A = this chain, B = another copy of it.
Amino acid sequence: MPEIRQNIATKDWVIIATERARRPEDFVQKEQKRRDLPAHSPTCPFCPGNEHMTPPEVFRIPAPGGGWRVRVAPNKFAALVPGDFEALAVQDGLKHFVPGVGVHEVIVENPAHNVTIPFLPDDHVRDLLLTYRTRYRQIEDSTKLEQVVIFKNHGPAAGTSLEHPHSQLIATPIVPPNIRHRVEEAMRYYDEHRECVYCRMLRDELADGSRIVQETAHHVAFIPYAAMSPFHLWILPRQHTAAFRDISDEEMADVAGMLKGVLGKLHVGLDDPDFNLAIRSAPGESKHLRYFHWYISIVPRVTKMAGFEIGSGIFINTSLPERSAEFLRGQKAPAG
């Protein structure tokens, strides 16, 4: 019998389709070409020597011997552009809009064209997370934009055609619906239970254990009970923290190791699947915000969203979260 599971934090529903469930091995990717990439591509705007091909750099972590380890520049094909973000919204019948003002940046993760997070040294991944935190704080502190969204698209099925490993940052002049929705649901849970719903979920997932993928000193990675799609992963800090900007240096080094480990397990177990990654965070400084909890969401793009998902908003997951987690626990990430 299939189960229609509900995520207690997001209230999203998913059908765990036991009657048509596939084995974890069935999601191993058949063909991958990324392995044959060169270490340097003369036409790649993110490779060293081609820095002039991006708009002027806004941040870098320099390499000891010259050059850079991580580099941030505005996206050349920006979805949102600099401007007067306090310009009025227009509401005229069906025409509701706000001007598309904001920040859209590319974070080049490392100089090598062909080296992804699982194969970077630990301290390099920590520098990448440090870059995330730095730009997150700088943009929040220097603009009145509502929300900084940090994300990553890996591979064509995840919506990127650029091969060089990179993350992105978009800061929006509106509260994103996914954040508003999660904050509202978390407030409602807090009203009833006087506890952060994510803290509760983490406690229950740890007690159950069957969906845990990896644990570190400060973070836990698991496939949620109501995972929307196969191998959908959440990484939560153990310590209640509402905003990503408040991550400590120690936690940053810890989550870097976690990210490297979990993406490494995906790489090895599913043969380098395309995936999206997003950091979900409360906006602003929120040290006293009791009800929200930042986390990283990783969505391997190993299945397609179809008409039922579009029509209903209910997802159909053709894998069992418990079996997928067991499969990933058994994978050994590259040493890097």
- Identify which of A1-9, A36-44, A123-131, A326-334 touches chain B: A1-9
Inside 8 A of A279's CB, which chain B residues have their CB? 311
Alpha-carbon distance between A307 and B106 when the two chains are bound, in angstroms: 13
Inside 8 A of A13's CB, which chain B residues have their CB? 174, 176-177
Instruction: Take A149-B308, A159-B306, A299-B310 as given contacts and tell me if A5 and B179 are in contact as well, using a CB distance cutoff of 8 Å.
Output: no
- Identify which of A62-70, A200-208, A257-265, A284-292 touches chain B: A200-208
Give the residue name and chain of the B residue nearest to A83 (CB).
B1
Contact status A311-B79, CB under 8 Å: no
> What is the distance, in angstroms, from A146's C-beta to the closest C-beta of chain B?
10
Instruction: Take A2-B81, A78-B20 as given contacts and tell me if A311 and B97 are in contact as well, using a CB distance cutoff of 8 Å.
Output: no
Cβ of A313 within 8 Å of any chain B Cβ, yes or no, is yes
Chain A interface size range: 35 or more
Contact status A312-B176, CB under 8 Å: yes
> What is the distance, in angstroms, from A223's C-beta to the closest C-beta of chain B?
12
Contact status B174-A20, CB under 8 Å: no
Inside 8 A of A231's CB, which chain B residues have their CB? none
Contact status B308-A79, CB under 8 Å: yes
Contact status A4-B160, CB under 8 Å: no
For chain A residues 216-242, which have a beta carbon within 8 Å of chain B?
225-226
A273-291: CB near B (< 8 Å → 1, else 0) gives 0001111100000000000
15 example contacts (A-B, Cβ-Cβ < 8 A) are as follows A4-B173, A4-B174, A5-B97, A17-B100, A19-B78, A150-B311, A151-B310, A157-B304, A159-B303, A159-B307, A172-B312, A276-B307, A278-B312, A280-B311, A305-B305
